[in-house]
Structure 1
């Protein structure tokens, strides 16, 4: 059987230590259960140290350079790996960002589709049939409210959320899974359909997902998992989406 190799590009904040681990882990697990499929991974980095609006805006502008760099590979799909940077730019901005980055790639002569983590989160929650979500985030109060408003503007009510007010992005990457599981327990009665264990692509959650699903009475996902799923859909591969058996009105 002829093997198919899919080249995955990632546009990543310079201080991110998580996304280049978690997305490949999801996709390699997918490949291990799919005959004749391989993935390779290629990143370009945008400078950012602290999760603050001014740094996020400057970083987002740098994503255009990254799109040009990734077109040299070439790749089959790119993921913009910073949820809050997109959401801080205004409601619905993920659509504009994806369109701009795809235009740049086309101008370079190597067009490829783009998935943003912000867009992937809301689209995958919709695929799951989610109407109400609970979110766990590392952000400041202000940025956490920005994420809530963004998700709700996309038609998904945020039933509850917890944020940890961590601004240094390296520290975000060191938040232990036990803290996420504690927040999950606190929100157990929130009435959500789905819990997003990490509404952030830097806060690690991969090692905690199985335990979170065991503890929770509802489906649990993460932004990194949603990004990997959206990439699979974009390149035409089947995705088994965990759907809600019944969504409460």
Structure 2
């Protein structure tokens, strides 16, 4: 049996410590469960240290800055590139759309982002209400709610946040804190099925299958931002993980539809 070799390029905030180990572990699972694939991840960083709503923090995500990191990934001849950050949640989805267009125009490589993948996933599920968990300040949660509302996705009340602006501190958030926030959101509404962990510097992906099993009577699906980076890249290159067993280790996101149609 021939093996398809795939290189995935991921743009990483310079202070992020969660994505590389988690994505490497996810791809190890995918390669083992789909033996016809050999997928590797390749990372390029640009400086991001503060997560807030002020102009200095916004300037970290200027397009020319990101495109310099893109050019380095292109040197590795990756098959697709994703922005592994959630900045479009407060800067607007159009910023991620413009970034993907710039990547595809300048280096000719298909592109996606964590936030656009989450939006696509939720559209594919019929735009259900979704709970929100972040490490950010309340004002950022409010901005994220507004952005998703503009895309036709309602974020439920009783969202959770930790009030952190330093990205190094975000990387130190414990599994217990993340799990507690998810449980708080689910406890606030018995009808809520979907919870979005919106940050790529939280190590929530490894908790996803455990929390889904804990609440299996409610049929929950947790949408983790780091998992969404991988989901979006696989979508771009035509790899389907449904029914392969990946979801058992990394959550039901990997059994969701790969196009904007259908419901869970």
Instruction: Confirm or deny a common fold (TM above 0.5).
Output: yes
- Give 2:173's aligned residue: 175
Structure-2 change in CA distance of 1:123 and 1:169 (3 Å): same
Task: After superposing the two structures, state which structure 1 stretch, 201-210 or 12-21, moved more.
Answer: 201-210
Question: 1:130: how far off?
Answer: 4.2
Q: What does 1:1-249 align with in structure 2 at a 5 Å threshold?
A: 1-53=1-53, 54-61=56-63, 62-83=65-86, 85-105=87-107, 111-160=108-157, 161-188=159-186, 189-190=188-189, 191-196=191-196, 198-216=197-215, 217=218, 218-240=220-242, 241-242=255-256
Question: 1:246: how far off?
Answer: 7.5
Residue-by-residue CA offset, 1:9-61 (whole Å, 9 max, x unaligned): 01111001011122222222112111221112211111011112422432343
| Alpha-carbon separation, structure 2, partners of 1:104 and 1:142 | 35
| Preserved CA contact (<8 Å) 2:141 2:161 | yes
| Alpha-carbon separation, structure 1, partners of 2:143 and 2:22 | 24
Structure-2 change in CA distance of 1:128 and 1:136 (3 Å): same
Structure-2 change in CA distance of 1:246 and 1:72 (3 Å): closer
Structure-2 change in CA distance of 1:77 and 1:91 (3 Å): closer
| Alpha-carbon separation, structure 2, partners of 1:58 and 1:187 | 30
| Alpha-carbon separation, structure 2, partners of 1:225 and 1:128 | 17
Gaps of 5+ in 1: 106-110
| Alpha-carbon separation, structure 2, partners of 1:207 and 1:90 | 28
Gaps of 5+ in 2: 243-254
| Alpha-carbon separation, structure 1, partners of 2:133 and 2:89 | 15
RMSD across aligned C-alpha pairs, in angstroms? Answer: 1.9
SS at match of 1:157: coil
| Preserved CA contact (<8 Å) 1:56 1:88 | no
| Ranges of 4+ aligned residues in structure 1 off by more than 4 Å | none
| Preserved CA contact (<8 Å) 1:124 1:229 | no
Structure-2 change in CA distance of 1:56 and 1:12 (3 Å): farther
| Alpha-carbon separation, structure 2, partners of 1:92 and 1:163 | 24
Question: 1:230: how far off?
Answer: 1.4
- TM value normalised by structure 2: 0.84
Question: 1:3: how far off?
Answer: 1.4
Residue-by-residue CA offset, 1:70-121 (whole Å, 9 max, x unaligned): 11110001110111x223323433212211122221xxxxx21111111011
| Alpha-carbon separation, structure 1, partners of 2:129 and 2:227 | 18
| Preserved CA contact (<8 Å) 1:78 1:113 | yes
| Preserved CA contact (<8 Å) 2:44 2:72 | yes
| Alpha-carbon separation, structure 2, partners of 1:64 and 1:103 | 11
SS at match of 1:158: coil
